[in-house]
């Protein structure tokens, strides 16, 4: 294995929001590889708690309608923002595909919920890195509608499970974004 390859993919991974994406469809083979790599995330007790629902084509529009209706239903009138509602109506249609992310709790409860959430987060990172390797942008949205009990139910999950957001996938409408990070030395102490 060449460690420079993974380093390059990790350092080129970017958050690409739906407004930066084209709605060009993403080949099913690429989406399946993204999901297969998610399935190889670390998981305490081999619970493999990640669950996914893929939206492409017309189902992205149905997802948009569901998110907008959910946002309106669960938001108190004094907190409702029309601009946010409008984004729910549009964002899923801007991406080539949207993957709902969920966490399935094991029945025994032996593994903590936090462990399960962290395993799902690792799965999403694998998804993001795989998308990057294919030249596909990704964005993990954890908004109120995407994390709601309504979304959990929409995914067909049980009350003890959790919806953990939406992962948007799309080819960029422009150039791949650049980024920078603070030096790691400012974040590490050695014992």
Residue-range domains of the chain with CATH: 14-55+95-173 (3.40.109.10)
Residue 175 has a pLDDT of 87
* Residue in this structure with the two tokens 């990070």, named with its chain if needed: 181
Task: Render pLDDT for 18-52 as a digit per residue (tens, 0 to 9).
Answer: 999 988 899 999 999 999 999 999 999 999 999 99
List C-alpha distances in Å: 147 to 49, 151, 175, 186. 16, 6, 30, 33
Query: What mean pLDDT is predicted for residues 111-128?
Result: 98
Helices 113-133 & 28-38, crossing angle to 10 degrees?
140
Residue 21 has a pLDDT of 94
Task: Render pLDDT for 87-119 as a digit per residue (tens, 0 to 9).
Answer: 999 999 999 999 999 999 998 889 999 999 999
Residue 86 has a pLDDT of 98
| Cβ–Cβ < 8 Å for 133, 121 | no
Residue 10 has a pLDDT of 93
52 vs 98: CA distance, rounded Å: 10
* Helix H or strand E segment including 61: helix 58-74
109 vs 99: CA distance, rounded Å: 26
Percentage of the chain with pLDDT > 70? 100
pTM of the predicted structure, to 2 decimals:
0.95
Residue 107 has a pLDDT of 86
151 vs 141: CA distance, rounded Å: 13
Residue 6 has a pLDDT of 92
Task: Render pLDDT for 135-177 as a digit per residue (tens, 0 to 9).
Answer: 999 999 999 999 999 999 999 999 999 999 999 999 998 888 8
108 vs 122: CA distance, rounded Å: 22
């Amino acid at each position: 294995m060449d460690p420079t390859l993974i380093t390059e993919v990790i350092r080129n991974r970017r958050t690409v929001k739906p407004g930066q994406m084209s709605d060009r469809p993403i080949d099913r083979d690429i989406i399946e590889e993204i999901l297969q790599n998610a399935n190889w995330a670390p998981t305490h007790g081999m619970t493999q708690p990640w669950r996914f629902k893929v939206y492409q084509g017309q189902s992205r529009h149905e997802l948009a309608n569901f998110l907008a209706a959910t946002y309106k239903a669960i938001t108190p009138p004094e907190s409702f923002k029309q601009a946010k509602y409008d984004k729910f109506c549009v964002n899923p249609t801007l991406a080539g595909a949207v993957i709902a992310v969920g966490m399935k709790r094991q029945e025994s409860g032996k593994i903590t919920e936090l462990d399960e959430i962290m395993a799902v987060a690792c799965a999403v990172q694998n998804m993001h890195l795989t998308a990057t390797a294919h030249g596909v942008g990704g964005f993990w949205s954890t908004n109120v509608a995407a994390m709601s009990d309504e979304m959990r139910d929409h995914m067909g999950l049980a009350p003890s499970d959790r919806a953990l957001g939406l992962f948007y996938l799309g080819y960029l409408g422009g150039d791949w974004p650049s980024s920078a990070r603070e030096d790691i030395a400012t974040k590490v102490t050695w014992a």
